[in-house]
Homo-oligomer: A and B are copies of this chain.
């Protein structure tokens, strides 16, 4: 039974009766299917029924639709797919920028997350993210965060498609006290969402360096058991790769392969530092990659070899990463950058042409997420995830039509998020005529501004005190101590050595350091922070060991007993970060450095133990030698008693106790 038979009858009614009925017909559009052949229809139609794409092409006449929308002068294409983000972090957009990765992560992101991340925070952040994503033409995203249940609920409520990864970490996290809890949470999460029309649940072991081998294996097994993808971060920084080489004797990709991560269908974010062999391993494992050009640039991680990965057959999607490192969720900016960066990186202006960048953000992205059968192109049978663009603004004008590929160039190189007019996901309109239909933006904005104010308050409070700021980054043990001490010049080192060799002074032990002190200064009441690095020297003067400690000292001494001073200090040891970290994190008002050679002895004299230092100042250089005598003290009485002995001992060591020096070396 051909249509011609009926056409000959000349009856329009009969034709209409024979036409298939559908829910919606988008007509007269420039339809870009983004299918494998990049089929396009300069004036085509899309028939949608029951949330599904029924037909695409010059097919308007074959359908009777309950609703028809004339898309003349507009482009209809698949919704964009954001292949990697942390949606709730939209609430942390612009919180702290232009910082080094460790300062940003350990100094800001993690303390704030520890304090604020609860299910309500996650739900609100996800809704705010959905509003932004829908406005910028994204219909589907791959997520990874804590309390992923709330991400899934909020996304489904907003009508968006999402691959939701429940984070698993070896550390305690906002939603799990241990990694066993974390794994159990991931399992319950998958059980709850498996089979949902919009949500694909996944375990998300955060990264090889934040997980144990057991976690990686358990997650891969869980993904295989439930037949769901697995979302993770791989090879983001050279630091990560170097560390993997050191600890495991191989880079990240072979390491996780060896530990059978690829038993699961993996979506790997970043893959910035991968060589051809690793790319081939990813391809062979059927792993999808999420390329995050903005985040990788902004955090100084590098530039992923996206063009090469595509060339070797890897499905490479494009992601924005979280808003805290981007700072938005705009896939138009992201695909433009992916296309540009590939060219600048290789010196080849034909690398990742516009067409390919758009495919990465649609069809290829869907495959990277392992949902290529459901979405990513306008093909009969796929779900109706699509957007309508109007490229009539100044920044998109004029239009050239000679080259059928020019439309891809217009979308990637000059269109903006604001050119998206309508957005549909799973056959349901999420935005019409730039009005969001599933989210109350006013309410979201009010609530988000409130959270921002609370975070601002939290950080301001913390930043009022250097000590609080130190505690906020963890590992800082507050430990108060009092010390009596005196310092004086000595004529020569010999007098000290001779005195120590005498019978009435017992040397319990001795050590030789090269000591580097960096003092950070703050406003008046904040005291100063000393970062001290001790290099332990052997008898030949060679460095045999090193350690670093932080000490926060108050602004002034507590008391004086003659020339002997009583100090209070707070020891905060050890210093696990570099001076650079502390500098950028604490932002001192100024900074000074002192370098010295120190011989330090623990001695017993008149029944009391003292530390004796014989110091030579190297930088800033000061002529001659200094001797310091100090002892812990526990009471004013004890301090007073020890002060008398110190004065005596100083004299024995060749110093004049009446010419002691009150100033610290740094203040000389």
In the complex the two chains form, is A349's CB within 8 Å of B99's CB?
yes
Complex interface: chain B residues within 8 A of A298 (CB): 340, 343-344, 349, 413
Give Cα distance in the complex from A104 to B403, angstroms: 14
The 3 lowest CB-CB distance pairs between A and B, nearest first, are A297-B344, A98-B353, A398-B452
User: Which of A54-62, A219-227, A324-332, A495-503 contacts its partner?
Assistant: A324-332
Let me know if A157 is at the binding interface, CB within 8 A: no
Which residues 443-458 of A sit at the B interface, judged by CB distance below 8 A? 445, 448-449, 451-453, 455-456
In the complex the two chains form, is A400's CB within 8 Å of B94's CB?
yes
Complex interface: chain B residues within 8 A of A403 (CB): 96
Give Cα distance in the complex from A131 to B344, angstroms: 29
Give Cα distance in the complex from A125 to B488, angstroms: 79
Interface residues of A: mostly helix, strand, loop or mixed? helix
In the complex the two chains form, is A349's CB within 8 Å of B95's CB?
no
Other than A94-B399, A399-B449, give 5 A-B pairs with Cβ distance below 8 A.
A96-B403, A99-B350, A328-B413, A333-B336, A402-B459
Give Cα distance in the complex from A449 to B396, angstroms: 11
Complex interface: chain B residues within 8 A of A336 (CB): 333
Looking at the assembled complex, report how far the CB atom of A321 sits from the nearest CB atom of chain B, in whole angstroms.
12
User: Which of A31-39, A184-192, A199-207, A414-422 contacts its partner?
Assistant: A414-422
Let me know if A299 is at the binding interface, CB within 8 A: yes
Let me know if A23 is at the binding interface, CB within 8 A: no
| From A326, A348, A396, A398, residue with most partner B Cβ within 10 Å | A398
| From A135, A136, A395, residue with most partner B Cβ within 10 Å | A395
Copy tally for this chain in the complex stands at 2
Let me know if A300 is at the binding interface, CB within 8 A: yes
- Contact for A349 among B299, B330, B400, B406, CB less than 8 A: B299
Complex interface: chain B residues within 8 A of A460 (CB): 402
In the complex the two chains form, is B344's CB within 8 Å of A395's CB?
no
In the complex the two chains form, is A354's CB within 8 Å of B97's CB?
yes
In the complex the two chains form, is B455's CB within 8 Å of A327's CB?
no
Complex interface: chain B residues within 8 A of A399 (CB): 94, 449, 452
- Contact for A302 among B344, B398, B400, CB less than 8 A: B344
In the complex the two chains form, is B395's CB within 8 Å of A328's CB?
yes
Looking at the assembled complex, report how far the CB atom of A480 sits from the nearest CB atom of chain B, in whole angstroms.
29
Give Cα distance in the complex from A350 to B394, angstroms: 34
Interchain Cβ contacts under 8 Å between A and B, 29 examples: A91-B398, A94-B406, A94-B409, A97-B409, A98-B349, A98-B354, A99-B349, A99-B350, A100-B348, A100-B350, A128-B394, A132-B395, A298-B344, A300-B343, A326-B413, A327-B410, A327-B414, A330-B416, A333-B336, A337-B337, A392-B445, A394-B441, A397-B448, A397-B449, A398-B449, A399-B452, A400-B455, A402-B460, A402-B463
- Contact for A300 among B98, B349, B353, B417, CB less than 8 A: B349
Give Cα distance in the complex from A337 to B293, angstroms: 11
Complex interface: chain B residues within 8 A of A451 (CB): 398
In the complex the two chains form, is A402's CB within 8 Å of B456's CB?
yes
Looking at the assembled complex, report how far the CB atom of A642 sits from the nearest CB atom of chain B, in whole angstroms.
45
Let me know if A290 is at the binding interface, CB within 8 A: no
Looking at the assembled complex, report how far the CB atom of A399 sits from the nearest CB atom of chain B, in whole angstroms.
6
Let me know if A619 is at the binding interface, CB within 8 A: no
Complex interface: chain B residues within 8 A of A296 (CB): 344
Give Cα distance in the complex from A52 to B327, angstroms: 35
Which residues 344-376 of A sit at the B interface, judged by CB distance below 8 A? 344, 346-351, 353-354
Let me know if A591 is at the binding interface, CB within 8 A: no
Looking at the assembled complex, report how far the CB atom of A405 sits from the nearest CB atom of chain B, in whole angstroms.
8
Let me know if A155 is at the binding interface, CB within 8 A: no
- CB closest residue in chain B, given A333: B333
Looking at the assembled complex, report how far the CB atom of A105 sits from the nearest CB atom of chain B, in whole angstroms.
11
Knowing A416-B418, A418-B418, the reply to whether A299 touches B394 (Cβ < 8 A) is no
Looking at the assembled complex, report how far the CB atom of A485 sits from the nearest CB atom of chain B, in whole angstroms.
39
Complex interface: chain B residues within 8 A of A396 (CB): 93
- CB closest residue in chain B, given A436: B394
Complex interface: chain B residues within 8 A of A416 (CB): 330, 416-418
Complex interface: chain B residues within 8 A of A463 (CB): 402
Complex interface: chain B residues within 8 A of A93 (CB): 396-398, 414
- Contact for A456 among B339, B344, B401, B409, CB less than 8 A: B401
In the complex the two chains form, is A328's CB within 8 Å of B414's CB?
yes
In the complex the two chains form, is A456's CB within 8 Å of B300's CB?
no
In the complex the two chains form, is A395's CB within 8 Å of B417's CB?
yes
Give Cα distance in the complex from A100 to B397, angstroms: 23
Give Cα distance in the complex from A183 to B353, angstroms: 39
Knowing A402-B456, A409-B327, A413-B327, the reply to whether A349 touches B100 (Cβ < 8 A) is yes
Complex interface: chain B residues within 8 A of A323 (CB): 414
Complex interface: chain B residues within 8 A of A351 (CB): 300
Give Cα distance in the complex from A329 to B416, angstroms: 12
Give Cα distance in the complex from A342 to B584, angstroms: 19
Knowing A94-B409, A298-B349, the reply to whether A445 touches B136 (Cβ < 8 A) is no
Complex interface: chain B residues within 8 A of A349 (CB): 98-101, 104, 298-300
- CB closest residue in chain B, given A125: B398
In the complex the two chains form, is B94's CB within 8 Å of A456's CB?
no
Let me know if A341 is at the binding interface, CB within 8 A: yes
